[in-house]
Amino acid sequence: MSKRFARWVPRMFAPDQKLTRLETSTLLAHFQADPASFFWRSVTQDETWGQHFEPQSKNQSKHWKNHGSPPPPKINQVAPVGKVMALMFWGTEGILVIDYLQRSQAINGAYCASALRQFKEVIKEIWTGKLRAGMLLLQDNAPVHMSQEAVPEAASCGFELLPHAP
């Protein structure tokens, strides 16, 4: 007999979670059907927090000095004014849309649905071919993305929601 160490695994999945991961692997079938089109049609949506800064302009940092004296030091560290929530859509072309939430606004299903409508209008102006080809939208499993308002809105906008593993 010998002593064996247990192997570390990041997470033990339940049977239904394993089944969901298996269903998510259908993305490979999408990719194999047309690899170039898959990446071109794919768009990812996510939210992130960012620091809001109000830096000094060049004119604001001017000081009167004598000709022989050294210039005043300019310290780049500016205290953040606050945090800002940004909702972003990006694809192979880079960032397509950034929407900053107002300070008192909460991200919920209704807001997510309106953001999808806004995104569709922007895509209509810039890339009409993407809408005709059928856009593939990848979101995480956040409750606001899977809400009763957001999922039907994504379908009505013509986006095919890609499954996301838990």
| Residue 160: per-residue pLDDT | 86
Give pLDDT, residue 132. Answer: 78
Hey, which CATH number is domain 24-45+85-166, 3.40.30.10, 2.130.10.10, 3.30.420.10, 2.40.50.140?
3.30.420.10
CA 106, 165, 88, 150 dihedral sign is negative
65-83 pLDDT, tens digit per residue, is: 777 777 777 666 656 667 7
State pTM to two decimals.
0.67
Write down the pLDDT at residue 76: 61
Whether residue 123 has pLDDT greater than 70: yes
Mean pLDDT, rounded, for 99-109:
83
What digits encode the pLDDT tens for the residues 7-50?
777 777 888 888 877 777 777 888 888 888 888 888 889 888 88
